[in-house]
Amino acid sequence: MSEDGLLTGEDGKVRCFWQQGLEDYRRYHDDEWGYPVTDDKRLFEKICLEGFQSGLSWLTILRKRESFRAAFAGFDFDKVASFDDTDIERCLADKGIVRHRGKIVSTINNARRAVALRDEFGSLARYFWSFEPKQDERPEVFDYATLRANPTTPASTRLSKDLKKRGWSFVGPTTVYAFMQAMGMVNDHIEGCHCRPRIEAMRQEFIRP
């Protein structure tokens, strides 16, 4: 990795350093991370997996994602909301996921909170995107130093506080900011990364929920 937080791949493309040149991580970086998402199930999946990631590497979670999807009904929050103690024990016995009781219970709790949120706002997308930061809250240049200096933002703190007031758990400001990055509410590909201009152009055309 160079001092500017970028890594040139064997294909000659410049990317954010964190994908480490690993094939599965590179695909996630190139084809998913930072792309605007409006599908409610995908949004629920993303915020839950960011909660599971707390204290772990994202690569660990990414490589277990299909197992997480199988364990949590494809992150259909209407289904997960009906999970009971039997489902908790099933998940705790599942070696394919992170077997952390608190995070498993949190996912079920958050599914119930997601149902209430969807019923109130019409969709999770409409709620989450209402917290998109204004342009004056974003750095003029998004470089490696900015990325390192900002594990949270005022917008992620606002969203975190509101979710907690609504009964969500494992949604601290750092976790929420990682969710905002992953779902494309902000474009945090570092300046010079080949994905950044493409996603920025997409964001300009994107119709907010």
pLDDT digits (tens, 9 = 90+) for 128-186: 999 999 989 999 899 999 988 889 999 999 999 999 999 999 999 999 999 999 999 99
pLDDT band at residue 111 using 50, 70 and 90 as cut-offs: very high
Q: How far apart are CA 96 and CA 67, in angstroms?
A: 5
Q: What pLDDT does residue 52 have?
A: 97
Residues marked as catalytic? 28, 50, 58
**Dihedrals phi, psi of 8, to nearest 5 degrees:** -90, 125
Cβ count near 124 (within 10 Å): 22
pLDDT exceeds cutoff 70 at 119? yes
pLDDT > 90? residue 100? yes
Could you tell me which of 182, 185, 191 has the C-alpha nearest to residue 158? Answer: 185
> Is the per-residue pLDDT at 24 higher than 70?
yes
Q: What is the CA radius of gyration of the chain?
A: 17
Where would I find the H helices in 54-194?
58-63, 65-71, 77-80, 85-92, 101-121, 124-129, 144-149, 154-165, 173-182
Q: Round the average pLDDT of the chain to a whole number and report it.
A: 96
Indicate whether 199 pLDDT > 70. yes
124 vs 13: CA distance, rounded Å: 35
In the predicted model, is pLDDT for residue 1 greater than 70? no
Entry pTM: 0.96
| Surface-to-core class of residue 148, CB atoms within 10 Å of its CB (0-12 exposed, 13-18 middle, 19+ buried) | exposed
Contacts (Cβ under 8 Å, ≥6 apart) of 208 = 129, 132
- Per-residue tokens: 32: 């998913």
d(CA 56, CA 96): 15
